[in-house]
């Protein structure tokens, strides 16, 4: 495992159990963990946590700067939900685009400014979904927000490279996220497992390992990349070689 | 036979060459038919010379001239002779649909040297030889030209048991891009089309598609809920070949009923 000893990691955005598992894995690698969350939300109970004014760009910059030191920020999408395109409301779009994209941008921007001010290298890691690269039904708002994030990460990587700040995206397949449980708890789990070449759902620990790599000193030249972490789910419609059986 | 109802003879007087078009069920035949329905004369190729007399009759029935140009596209000498024959008869070649291809269904671990060579020779080298001969002829003519390669939905999505086929199709992205760059100054456009599930002889029967139930289940997994028709691939080639495609080069167009966009269709 990559050594994150001495690294300070901020965790932002969706702070559910997958994010919690990622944080635990990074802590096991030696990192100190602090969650940041919007003042309007409840504090997570699994990490040291600081409330911030996420929607107030100027105040967010000031308070995140005051929160220094940190080396790494992991930003998870808070708005994971499934809704048919025709039923998607203005509020749904705000929730997806505002939560998964705009707020992620503001947090990343404020974090980058704090790192630059201290003249410190850093890593920004966006957690995302393969929905940004392959379409699904009932995921138009979610997919659009994550598609925007995908593009943003690459542009930000260019802008921040001179400051030795890397920006990368991990696009996960099916996870044990709370929003997925209604589907996974019924027939969906078998369907997902059958549709995944590795035959199983990606664990939070595995996503944590990817975060450890991108946060570590081994990955200082890795920026603007999309790391697909899905057991091969996005590769293909046909899974395995059973198709050869006559 | 596919019935054309929208033709406006936009390719009247043009000369097209289509490879891999001997089989009546093939995508190549659909391309040749669509080009002929738009008024283009067609040099029609296949490695199976015995299939071509019927193909010529099919095209001539569409009120164009047709010429059988049998050749193995993986043999550079045969490819050059094929172009020579087409030019001797028609005087020129304006449109080339480099379509001939083969597939071998094999687990990666079981890929044999012979099948590796065959798929690479036809799908990769064949396209190189045909496109090079096409470009040389078009440059000599000095009036531009259109090259349309048939790749596959496999150029952009992945399937087991066809790893070599998929590799040769995906390879069309950099190949088409490079040709578009190099041939653009000669006003030659180069593009590729990605057919989805077409029940041509190439994949009928296919492994896993042995029963009516299998075939129907596969069909239902496509958003548009049906197979693609060879003639529909031909209509895309007509788009690229006609004045509609004047400013279109280096692109990839899937014609797959949505197969390529989603893992599971609703």
CA distance B56 to B59: 5
Cis? peptide before B205, omega within 30° of 0: yes
Domain count across chain B: 1
Tell me how far the alpha carbon of residue A17 is from its chain's centroid. Answer: 13
Using CA coordinates, name the residue in chain A closest to B205.
Answer: A246
In a domain, B8, yes or no: no
The tokens describing A97, both together, are: 């685009």
Q: Assess contact for B108 and B29: CB atoms under 8 A.
A: no
**Known catalytic residue: B200?**
no
CA distance A29 to A23: 10
CA distance B86 to B134: 11
Residue B82 belongs to domain spanning:
15-255
In a domain, B228, yes or no: yes
In a domain, B84, yes or no: yes
Phi first, then psi: what are they for A234, rounded to 5°? -80, -5
The CA-based angle A70-A206-A225, given to 5 degrees, is 65
CA distance B69 to B58: 15
The tokens describing B228, both together, are: 């693609």
> For B121-167, what is each residue's pLDDT tens digit?
999 999 999 999 999 999 999 999 999 999 999 998 888 889 999 99
In a domain, A59, yes or no: yes
B261 touching A, CB under 8 A? yes
In a domain, A239, yes or no: no
Domain count across chain A: 1
The tokens describing B41, both together, are: 């004369």
CATH number of the domain that residue B50 is part of = 3.40.50.720
First to last CA, chain A: 43
In a domain, A242, yes or no: no
Q: How many CA atoms lie within 13 A of A20 on its CB side?
A: 11
CA distance B188 to B246: 9
Whole-prediction pTM value? 0.85
Which residue of A237, A240, A245, A246 is the best one to mutate when testing the B interface, meaning the one whose CB has the most B CBs within 10 A? A237
pLDDT digit string (tens) for chain A, length 246 residues: 568 999 999 999 999 999 999 999 999 999 999 999 999 999 999 999 999 999 899 999 999 999 989 999 999 999 999 999 999 999 999 999 999 999 999 999 999 999 999 999 999 999 999 999 888 888 899 999 999 999 999 999 999 999 999 999 999 999 999 999 998 988 889 989 988 999 999 999 999 999 999 999 999 999 999 999 999 998 877 654 444 443
In a domain, A190, yes or no: yes
Chain A residues whose beta carbon lies within 8 Å of the beta carbon of residue B161: 241, 243-244
Q: Assess contact for B190 and B144: CB atoms under 8 A.
A: no
pLDDT digit string (tens) for chain B, length 266 residues: 445 566 789 999 999 999 999 999 999 999 999 999 999 999 999 999 999 999 999 999 999 999 999 999 999 999 999 999 999 999 999 999 999 999 999 988 899 999 999 999 999 999 999 999 999 999 999 999 999 999 999 998 888 889 999 999 999 999 999 999 999 999 999 999 999 999 898 888 888 788 899 889 888 889 899 999 999 999 999 999 999 999 999 999 999 999 988 776 54
Q: Which of B14, B74, B98, B169 is catalytic?
A: B169
**Known catalytic residue: B9?**
no
ipTM value greater than 0.90: no
- Pick B107's closest partner by Cβ from A195, A239, A241: A241
**B178-187: which pairs have CB atoms within 8 A and are 24 or more residues apart?**
B179/B131, B179/B135, B179/B147, B180/B249, B180/B250, B181/B250, B183/B135, B183/B138, B183/B139, B183/B147, B184/B249, B186/B135, B186/B138, B186/B139, B186/B144, B186/B145, B187/B143, B187/B144, B187/B145
In a domain, A93, yes or no: yes
In a domain, B112, yes or no: yes
Chain B residues whose beta carbon lies within 8 Å of the beta carbon of residue A234: 263
Residue A22 belongs to domain spanning:
8-230
CB pairs < 8 Å spanning A and B: 51
CATH number of the domain that residue A41 is part of = 3.40.50.720
The b-or-e profile of A10-27 (16+ CB within 10 A means b, else e) is: bbbbbbbebbbbbbbbbe
The verdict on a CB contact (< 8 Å) between A135 and B158 is no
Bridge partner residues of B17 (DSSP): B43, B96
B158 touching A, CB under 8 A? yes
Helix (H, G, I), strand (E, B) or coil at A214: helix
């Amino acid at each position: 495992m990559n050594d994150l000893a001495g690294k300070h990691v901020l965790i932002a955005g969706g702070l559910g159990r997958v994010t919690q598992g990622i944080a635990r894995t990074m802590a096991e690698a030696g990192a100190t963990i602090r969650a940041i969350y919007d003042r309007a939300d409840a504090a997570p109970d699994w990490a040291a946590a600081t409330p911030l004014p996420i929607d107030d760009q100027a105040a967010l910059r000031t308070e995140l700067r005051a929160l220094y030191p940190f080396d790494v920020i992991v930003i998870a999408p808070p708005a994971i939900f499934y809704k048919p395109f025709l039923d998607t409301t203005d509020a749904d779009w705000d929730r997806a685009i505002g939560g998964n994209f705009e707020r992620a941008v503001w947090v990343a921007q404020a974090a980058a400014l704090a790192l630059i001010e201290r003249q410190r290298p850093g890593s920004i890691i966006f957690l995302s979904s393969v929905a940004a690269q392959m379409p699904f039904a009932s995921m138009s708002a979610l997919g659009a927000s994550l598609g925007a994030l995908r593009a943003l990460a690459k542009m930000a990587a260019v802008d921040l490279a001179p400051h030795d700040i890397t920006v990368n995206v991990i696009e996960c397949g099916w996870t044990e996220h709370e929003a997925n449980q209604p589907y996974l708890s019924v027939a969906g789990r078998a369907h997902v497992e059958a549709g995944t070449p590795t035959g199983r759902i990606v664990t939070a620990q595995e996503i944590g390992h990817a975060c450890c790599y991108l946060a570590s000193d081994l990955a200082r030249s890795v920026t603007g990349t999309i790391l697909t972490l899905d057991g091969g789910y996005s590769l293909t419609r046909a899974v395995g070689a059973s198709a050869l059986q006559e | 036979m596919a019935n054309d109802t929208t033709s406006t003879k936009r390719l009247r007087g043009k000369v097209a060459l289509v490879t891999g078009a001997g089989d009546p069920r093939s995508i190549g035949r659909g391309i040749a038919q669509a080009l002929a329905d738009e008024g283009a004369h067609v040099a029609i190729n296949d490695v199976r010379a015995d299939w071509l007399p019927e193909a010529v009759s099919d095209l001539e029935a569409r009120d164009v001239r047709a010429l059988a140009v049998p050749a193995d596209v993986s043999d550079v000498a045969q490819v050059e002779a094929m172009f020579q024959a087409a030019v001797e008869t028609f005087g020129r070649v304006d449109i080339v649909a480099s379509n001939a291809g083969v597939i071998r269904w094999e687990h990666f671990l079981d890929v044999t040297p012979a099948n590796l060579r065959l798929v690479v020779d036809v799908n990769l080298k064949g396209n190189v030889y045909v496109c090079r001969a096409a470009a040389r002829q078009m440059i000599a003519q000095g009036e531009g030209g259109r090259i349309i390669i048939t790749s596959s939905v496999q150029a952009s999505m992945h399937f087991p048991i066809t790893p070599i086929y998929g590799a040769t199709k995906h390879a069309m992205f950099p190949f088409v891009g490079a040709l578009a760059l190099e041939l653009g100054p000669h006003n030659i456009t180069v593009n590729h089309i990605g057919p989805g599930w077409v029940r041509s002889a190439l994949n009928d029967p296919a492994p896993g598609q042995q029963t009516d139930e299998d075939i129907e289940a596969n069909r239902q997994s496509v958003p548009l809920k049906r197979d693609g028709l060879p003639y529909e691939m031909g209509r895309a080639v007509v788009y690229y070949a006609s004045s509609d495609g004047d400013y279109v080069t280096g692109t990839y167009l899937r014609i797959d009923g949505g197969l390529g966009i989603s893992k599971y269709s609703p």
